Amino acid sequence: MPWPKVDRRHFLASGLAAAAVWPMLGSVRAQSFDSDPFTLGVASGCPEPQSVVLWTRLVFPAEAAINMADPFAPAPAAEFGPLDVAWEIAEDEAFTRPVQSGIAPAVPDYAHSVHVEVRGLEPERWYFYRFRCRDAESPVGRTRTAPAADAAPGRFSFAFASCQQYEQGYYGAYRDMAQRELDLVVHLGDYVYEKSYGANLVRRHGAGVPTLLYEYRDRYALYKSDPDLKAAHAAFPWLAVWDDHEVINNYAKDQAPDAPRPEIFLEQRRAAYQAWYEHMPVPPRAAPDFSNLTIYGLHGFGQLIDIALLDTRQYRSPMLRGSAALDTEERTLLGAEQERWLDGALKGSKAKWTIVGQQTLLCERDTAAGPDTAYNLDGWDGYRSARTRLLDSVAAAGTANPIVIGGDLHAFYAAEVKRDFHDEKAPTFATEFVTGSITSDGPSDASIATALAENPHLKYASGRDHGYALMHLSDKQARTEFVTVSDRKDPQASARVGQGFVVLDGVPGVNRV
């Protein structure tokens, strides 16, 4: 089914359909607001053949008046009590062909966020949606359901992105993304950053490092206020997983270098996970326990593509101190339960292309020039036994065309996945693409040159550019394109498709185009 012919600029900026008549009355329209509560926009996510999740969050100028002595307590009911939010989904932007509508609660316990899982939709179809609370109307969003499980779509296109430090650049990459013809966006982590760093900052967090719930909420609200990020959320459904900066740098399970007491850090982690949930278009069933929030899962899009998204932070063993050679068999990056789940998910995948989405570079990367070796122990190189098990799982599953995608390194990579990275003649059995950062500072030219020289399975790398990646899949090939912005420091930056690659059906490996 082709993309609906809409004027995206008008659709995203003005919300043409907001003038249409709403079917619901009552408490939703009873009173007025002093200001627009929908300033964080709208989003959708987790598309399935007959369902999709719709998201928004109400915010109020007086939120700063919350009693900071107890940030986990509900806000005063006089201004921040439960509110009814009407939602509507339709086949057209003007909402002349409504499909479903209802009323959802927005409660202070979850920062007045709204997560509506709309069921009973048609597969592989575009829809438009909106929200209303009292006299306020949200912008209009557009979303798309997944193809039916037995469908064979001729094509599927998605973007994947990561690492969007707010202070280090503007979100021109998302402005470009919102104008493209895509079925989906996959975000691989570091959606927000907990700390300030780097030079030549173009905007500011305006607050210190968050550790409490209200502080994480404020950080998300700041990031999501960006108009270009809001446009990309409103244009397509998203799938999202976290990395470390959504909580604290380089954390592993219940430990973090900057949080020496695990019992205190777990409270901080719980607050960060809750804030992530409150600001992501994920199902409401994800909410009950923020001490253990399952975000990994398999997402199917007909017979063409399966996307297995992994969580490489919540269950991992502590980072090694010293050499990668100290790794032992029992150490894990995914945790035993997620490893078992992945085994089953990969064996059950019958799609033409199986995408494994995780947070960083899976392939080995020696970062030292010459005969010496050095590795990033916060990545898979510090968890070699776990990587071997993952590679074994992919190989044993016999999936037709496995492709690994990642982020985290603030550089673009294209690589060939091997069972033995030290044997240049070892067969390639999967292909890997890592997106550069949206804005976060990248590595030096020298470090990129060393990575390419020392690791022959890395076929392409660039740390100068910022942007995101596109993947276009058909029955015969998967084409990946690295989209780069002209200048992340320029709020009006342009973007272009840079290097492209093709993976042919049944022939893993990197082919430049």
Encode pLDDT of 366-383 as tens digits. 999 999 999 999 999 999
Residue 298, phi then psi, degrees to nearest 5: -110, 130
CB 169 within 8 A of CB 261: no
CB 503 within 8 A of CB 431: yes
The b-or-e profile of 215-242 (16+ CB within 10 A means b, else e) is: bbbbbbbbbbebebbbbbbbbbbbbbbb
Half-sphere exposure in the Cβ direction for 5 (13 Å, CA): 0
Residue 288, phi then psi, degrees to nearest 5: -55, -40
For the chain, the first-to-last Cα distance in angstroms comes to 27
Q: pTM for the complete prediction?
A: 0.93
pLDDT, tens digit (0-9, with 9 covering 90-100), for 40-60: 999 999 999 999 999 999 999
The sign of the CA dihedral 412, 422, 375, 362 is: positive
DSSP structural state of residue 303: B
Angstrom CA distances, 230 to 34, 142, 371, 380, stand at: 22, 12, 48, 32
**DSSP-assigned states of every residue in 18-62:** GGSPPS--GGGGSS--SS-TTTT-EEEEEEETTEEEEEEE---GG
Residue 258 is predicted with a pLDDT of 85
Contacts of 33 (CB under 8 A, 6+ apart): 60, 133, 134, 135, 136
Residue 71 is predicted with a pLDDT of 42
> Minimal CA–CA distance to 85: which of 122, 111, 113?
113
**DSSP-assigned states of every residue in 234-255:** HHSEEEE---STTTSTT-BTTB
All residue ranges of the chain with pLDDT < 50 are 1-3, 5-22, 25, 64-78
Residue 44, phi then psi, degrees to nearest 5: -140, 160
**Rounded CA gap, 174 and 90, in Å?**
25
Residue 30 is predicted with a pLDDT of 55
Residue 16 is predicted with a pLDDT of 36
**Which 3 state secondary structure label does DSSP give 276?**
helix
Token digits of residue 293: 């929030």
The CATH superfamily label for domain 1-145 reads: Purple acid phosphatase-like, N-terminal (2.60.40.380)
Residue 61 is predicted with a pLDDT of 78
Residue 216 is predicted with a pLDDT of 98
Residue 20 is predicted with a pLDDT of 42
CB 478 within 8 A of CB 384: no
**Domain 146-512, CATH class in plain words:** alpha beta
In the chain, residues under CATH classification 3.60.21.70 are 146-512
CB 359 within 8 A of CB 406: yes
Can you give 423-444 as a three-state secondary structure string? CCCCCEEEEEEECCCCCCCCCC
In the chain, residues under CATH classification 2.60.40.380 are 1-145
Residue 29 is predicted with a pLDDT of 55
Residue 13 is predicted with a pLDDT of 41
Residue 280 is predicted with a pLDDT of 98
